[in-house]
Amino acid sequence: MIRARTEPGLKKKAELILRKLGISPSDAINIFYSQIVLHKGIPFEIMLEDNDTDEFYTEVRDIDHLKSMLNLK
């Protein structure tokens, strides 16, 4: 069993496309996982944009650090 959180609008759009393709969300996940195994990695490119630099990132040490940065309790 896999549980994943996704933005509701994205989920709705993706499921509409999958429905048109005749593929269930579970089948789509199984296809994706099969491609990961076949390619021994993510089956598409994941790249940073040319202007993406380290200065745009903040290292998060742990969940408490993240909460403090986001002003959460």
pLDDT for 55: 76
Domain extent listing, the chain: 8-69
pLDDT for 63: 86
Tens of pLDDT along the chain (73 residues) come to 899 999 999 999 999 999 999 999 999 999 999 999 999 999 998 887 777 777 777 788 888 888 888 888 7
pLDDT for 19: 96
pLDDT for 24: 95
Q: How far is CA 51 from the centre of its chain?
A: 22
pLDDT for 25: 95
Name which of 22, 29, 23 is nearest 1 in CA terms.
29
